[in-house]
Structure 1
Amino acid sequence: MTQALSRILYVEDDPDIQAIAMMVLESIHGFTMEACSSGAEALAKAMPFKPDLILLDVMMPGMDGPETLKSLRKFPELVDVPVIFMTAKVQPQEVQGYLNLGALGVIAKPFDPMTLAQQLASIWEKR
């Protein structure tokens, strides 16, 4: 039996992109969201929030997405939580690099707010 996707930890440093994704995923599609604006904030909020999925920006100041993922994986409770990267860097070798880090999938930016929830669901189903 597959677990339903409900709780998403969303890490995005751009406030406009974060606001759009939060509105679409939380208000329209009913996901329980926890927004973080940095890798450090994600490390602080991830454990108490207990996400089903982590949606992670790649390019962020300070700790980038891949570094954030490596740090999150140090928590035993987060080792198996699926991660999807969101990034404008979607050349085939870049995407393969994210998958090699253990990402479940990659969503290209700019994303289409109308299809974002469906993209998440189809990647979620592949796990």
Structure 2
Amino acid sequence: MKFTKDHEWVRLEGDIAVVGITKHAADQLGDVVFVETPEAGKSVNRGDSFAVVESVKAASDVYAPVSGEVVEGNDALAGGPETVNADPEGDGWFAKIKVADPAEVEALMDRATYDQYVSTL
């Protein structure tokens, strides 16, 4: 798993990046009440807002950690946004993106580096 400073995670499955928000982000948001995931076929560039997560505290954009084409949005979150709180780095994933440039994944932080980054916040 790889991570961004915006608190997204990426898990590669072949050339598909499964993307979600980290446990830290979910904890900071509080109870998630709404999630808008991207449609399949949408092209995204690294750093683009591609999804929205709303909690009782705030609404936040979710940024694409890699460039590519969305192959699947997690439609289950529409009816069960609380999954983001219960399993943010598992079933609470937001989208699957066909990676355009594998080097973008390699440039992301590993778990230890991300945990160190979070400890400075």
Regarding TM over 0.5, the answer is no
Ranked by relative contact order (alpha carbons within 8 Å, sequence separation 6 or more), the top structure is 2
TM-score of the superposed pair, with normalisation by structure 1:
0.24
> Higher strand fraction: Structure 1 or Structure 2?
2
Higher helix share: 1
TM-score, normalization by structure 2? 0.25
